[in-house]
């Protein structure tokens, strides 16, 4: 499937605003993939489809989590996270993309996870820093992304976790675990240098 075909499919499922966001994530994913050595074609496809389920009916997505996904914990953390794992499911089921790396990049693009692959990191970060994003701290993460993928993700996670805590919202366990894992890796590499 080429870029134009993929974009035509995803455009049917998004608002104009979210489609523009998706185009920003696509370009940022390609840029990050080239900078850090990820597969550009997979980054592009994962980015195109990362929000495929963003506007799906919440009850439909809850049913998918309950009946089709192994991890049911998404149901305990509000509706905002559902589109990522459900998106991976729908992209496989409806679009026919069965590349595990692409599907995992879609699945984990909102929460992250410990031991993220390079492709997962690229899409996760691209979603956070694409040019249309305007919020406190995003420019700092963009600057970090010019030199270190992991440092940029650590800062993005700090910002996100802090934001959720200020609003007294629960933080998804994999998000905390991702942060802890990256901090532990960073400390190991700092000690070995």
* Residue 35 pLDDT exceeds 80: yes
H or E stretch at 59: helix 58-68
Q: What is the pLDDT of residue 41?
A: 98
Angle at 116 between CA 143 and CA 84, to 5 degrees: 90
Domains recognised in the chain with CATH numbers: 3-192 (1.10.3210.10)
Integer Cα distance of 34 and 145 in angstroms: 12
* Residue 190 pLDDT exceeds 90: no
pLDDT tens, position by position, 163-185? 999 999 999 999 999 999 999 99
pLDDT tens, position by position, 71-125? 999 999 989 999 999 999 999 999 999 999 999 999 999 999 999 999 999 999 9
Residue 81 near residue 111, CB atoms below 8 Å: yes
Q: Tokens representing 122?
A: 């690229």
Residue 102 near residue 45, CB atoms below 8 Å: yes
Q: What percent of the chain has pLDDT over 70?
A: 98
Residue 113 near residue 174, CB atoms below 8 Å: yes
Beta strands (DSSP E) in the chain are none
Burial track 93-116 (b if 16+ CB lie within 10 A, e otherwise): eebebebebbbbbbbbbbbbbeeb
Instruction: Work out the average pLDDT over 6-26.
Output: 97
């Amino acid at each position: 499937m080429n870029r134009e075909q993929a974009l035509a499919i995803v455009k049917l499922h998004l608002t104009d605003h979210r489609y523009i966001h998706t185009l920003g994530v696509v370009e940022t994913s390609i840029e990050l993939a080239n900078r850090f050595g990820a597969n550009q074609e997979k980054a592009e496809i994962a980015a195109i489809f990362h929000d495929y389920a963003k506007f799906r009916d919440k009850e439909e997505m809850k049913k998918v989590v309950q009946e089709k996904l192994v991890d049911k914990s998404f149901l305990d953390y509000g509706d905002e996270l559902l589109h990522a794992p459900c998106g991976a499911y729908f992209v496989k089921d409806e679009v026919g993309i069965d590349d595990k790396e692409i599907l995992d990049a879609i699945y984990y693009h909102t929460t992250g996870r410990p031991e993220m692959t390079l492709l997962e990191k690229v899409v996760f970060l691209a979603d956070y820093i694409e040019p249309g994003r305007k919020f406190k701290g995003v420019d700092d993460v963009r600057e970090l992304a010019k030199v270190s993928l992991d440092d940029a993700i650590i800062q993005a996670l700090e910002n996100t976790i802090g934001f959720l805590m200020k609003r007294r919202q629960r933080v998804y366990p994999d998000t905390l675990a991702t942060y802890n894992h990256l901090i532990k890796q960073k400390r190991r590499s700092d000690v070995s240098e």
